[in-house]
Structure 1
Amino acid sequence: MAGGHTKRLIVVVGPTAVGKTTMGIALAKHFKTEIISADSRQFYKEMSIGTAKPDVNELTEAKHHFIDSHTIEEEYSAGDFERDALSLLDTLFEKHDVVVMVGGSGLFVRAVCEGLDDLPKAPAVVRERLNGIFERKGLESLQQKLKEVDPDYYHHADIHNPQRVIRALEVYEATGKPFSSYRVREMVERPFEIITVGLNMDRQMLYDRINLRVDMMIEKGLVNEVRSLLSYRNKPALLTVGYAEIFDFIDGEITLEEAIFRIKQNSRRYAKRQITWFKKYGNTVWFEPDDWKGILSFLR
């Protein structure tokens, strides 16, 4: 990779359904470059409908990396992504002065842009036990446990995300130390310039787009996709919006109508948390998703 800051990584962030994929492709075509996906669920080949992956046409418009790159049977962490994405950037920057990264997974974006804390890896048996508690008793019992053992992280984390809660408890149970005690590493300086473009829009318009996207997922066969993943239901990637609710429907706990309502509701809540995260994150500059001229002017 070239020294200094002669290379640029343009990072497109924002809430779900705002139009990040479309903007990422437009930027990649403009700069004649490639795209790194930083969406923590689009890595998995088996998860397509519920993750709103770029479709076949979009994937042919610009080369994407980290789409369908792994199987759900593999554990793939933000730390793994940091290592692999940085290695890929070394290669891409040999051919391109600009690379585009697109994603709504804040932790995975941060991994590439700032580096992550060196967190210990917990034994698989610990994760399996915590997943079992989540399945039997729900998220609230795990949230309460986290509040007791690590109040600092509890008050700052996305405690509605089972992955985050379980990961924090894993570290605590494996080491006896709170997760927050490991989150002290200073930001790593990367050998390339990072420019973060945030996309946002009127809240009601965004919510309407989210609701429409969920309806389209159901039409495309989300229920059957989730059925095909029943044997993997305790995998962290599946403890998320769009999958957890359909599992509840399949278990007979709620109707399909209720599951769809909850997916829409939880997706809207997730979008709100994404906006909050990225507004606090780095030097993000915000634009309407159709403000192509404004974004290009800013990047120049």
Structure 2
Amino acid sequence: METPVSRNTLPPFVVLFGPTASGKTELLRKLVHRRPRSARRDEPWLEIVSADSMQVYRGLNIGTAKPPADERRSPPHHLIDIRDPDEQFTVGDFVREAEICIHEIASRGRLPVVSGGTAFYLRALLCGLPETPPSDPDIRAEIESQRDKRGLAAMHEQLEAIDPEGARSIDPHDGYRIVRALEVHRISGRPRSAFRAPERLREGLSCRVYELLVPRETLYARINERVDQMFAMGLPDEVNRLREAGFGKTTQALRAIGYREFFELDGRESDDLARVRTTIQRNSRRYAKRQRTFAHLIPERIGIAPDEIGRIAEGCERMFDAIDTAPCPVDQARERPI
């Protein structure tokens, strides 16, 4: 059974959720300078825990819109560049690592701010994971072998046949979740969607959950502009460097939007790159729509506009003042398996 790492109540923390290009990074830049009255002046008063399923991967910088390295040092950022592109990072991994970060940050007398657009991760952190059976390495390897031979589209069709509800909730390009859903069915005989995720906040949780609300047309325009900026910053070169490092279309991380399109269209010439660009923009807009839909499954969220820095700063100050700086046994938490 997949369970959160911590059996104890987490320290107070803040969650900032918003779809891609909604302005999370810019809001955090402003929030850093809205220091609470009780905070020390000679050190950061908050640290950021990334809740982005793709920013965990090294080498995927431009296409995941990672903050610059110098910006990630002050205030400190966590859960960025912690996996190679061919390594898995599951929702269970995220919950475990995020809980450790939250405990450690609070023990330093700072406010943990969990920020990102992967609503699936945030819901699991806030509400808990469904009681699905643990992974079986042999069964997983067999399903992954089938995936490599038959392709993701065929595996998604197989999932639709045994778990239509689950298949509708999984992006056809999300190789990890497709394999995991098929694995759960093989192990338990039950569809993955039968294992319901908790719908309420975990007992004893002290947090504030903010959702950035941006009008759809504004958001879509921002997405198109961001993709243009990514190409100007050298996204095609970044993809070529990943190719040269031995990563390709079957690599877990490169199935993400912003990377898979280069392999689907094999965009190397100028005309093809134009098609890649417009396809990334379209796929990103569709993903943002799914993010907004999934956000409704996150309980007790507070909707704010990106320019409402005062409201979120006030909430953060209250959470900061509630932090107990007593050390937490995070080393023990690291040793607990999921």
TM-score, structure 2 as length reference = 0.78
**Correspondence for 1:147 among 146, 160, 166:** 160
Structure 1: how far apart are the matches of 2:232 and 2:298?
A: 35
- Name which of 156, 162, 165 aligns with 2:174: 162
* Greater fraction helix: 1
Aligned to 1:278: 295
Shift in Å, 1:21: 1.6
Amino acid at match of 1:232: F
1:247 aligned partner, one-letter code: F
Unaligned runs of 5+ in 1: none
For 2:308 and 2:66, locate their aligned partners in 1 and report how far apart those are by CA, in whole Å: 23
Query: Are 1:27 and 1:100, in contact at CA under 8 Å, matched by a contact in 2?
Result: no
CA distance in 2, matches of 1:278, 1:297: 23
Partner of residue 254, structure 2: 238
Equivalent position SS for 1:159: coil
In structure 2, the partner of 1:56 is 69
1:81 is aligned to 94
In 2, distance between residues paired with 1:69 and 1:145?
A: 32
Among 32, 40, 53, which residue is 2:53 paired with? 40
Q: Tell me the residue number matched to 2:142.
A: 125
Give the CA deviation at 1:12.
0.5
Unaligned runs of 5+ in 2: 1-5, 36-44, 319-338
Alignment partner for residue 9 of structure 1, among 7, 13, 19?
13
The counterpart of 2:115, out of the listed 102, 112, 137, is 102
Partners of 1:280 and 1:98 in 2: how far apart?
A: 25
- What is the deviation of 1:274? 0.6
Report deviation, 1:27.
Answer: 3.1
Partner of 2:16: helix, strand, or coil? strand
Per the normalisation by structure 1, the TM-score is 0.87
In structure 2, the partner of 1:249 is: 265
- Number of equivalences: 293
CA distance in 2, matches of 1:16, 1:27: 19
Amino acid at match of 2:308: D
Cα distance in 2 for partners of 1:201, 1:124 equals 42
Structure 2 residue matching 1:34: 3-state secondary structure: strand
After superposition, the CA RMSD in angstroms is 2.7
Map 1:181-220; keep pairs closer than 5 Å. 181-183=194-196, 189=202, 191-220=204-233
Q: Post-superposition shift, 1:117?
A: 2.2
